[in-house]
Amino acid sequence: MILLGLGSNLGDREINIKKAIYKLHQHSEISVDNVSSLYETKPVGMLEQPHFLNAVISVQTKLTPYDLLQVCLNTECQLGRIRDRRWGPRTIDIDILIYHNLVIQDEVLQLPHPRLHERCFVLIPMQEVINDMPIHQGLTPRQLLQKLNDSSDVAFYKRLEMEFIQS
């Protein structure tokens, strides 16, 4: 199981996320299997910026985690992502959340994503995509959400259908 998290808070947020998913799916070595709904969330870290739309997708690929990261970074760049401030506003953000059961901790990549178990805006759409599969210390997204006990900053925005990636 490979899961990616997507977020956008600049421009047309929904279109940015759809374009990113489409571009990933069009890559010759990536197939998008499932797409969550979009959720609107308050920013984390730097609070003085527009709200985000967030989604989680599952993909299949034979790319290494590092090669997949490069594809994600290239896709962000193609969609106008400018990295000038940590946690700052962005047209698109694509994070590798989980890459099978791999654990990687280096200066380039951290898997699983080090904060996925703390973020409702990741766990709620993730639950839609994988249901009750364990993702962190044997716990499912639902169990992790119960531990966090506050998902009030995450609001359902819109259901995404897989058809848009086929066109």
Break the chain down into helix, strand, coil percent, rounded to 5: 30, 25, 40
Q: And the tokens for 90?
A: 């962005």
C-beta atoms surrounding 2 within 10 Å:
20
Cβ neighbours of residue 64 closer than 8 Å, sequence gap 6 or more: none
User: Catalytic residue positions?
Assistant: 81, 90, 93, 95
Amino acid residing at 160 = L
Whether the CB-CB separation of 112 and 134 falls below 8 Å is answered with: no
* Residue for token pair 């000038």: 84
3-state secondary structure of 136: strand
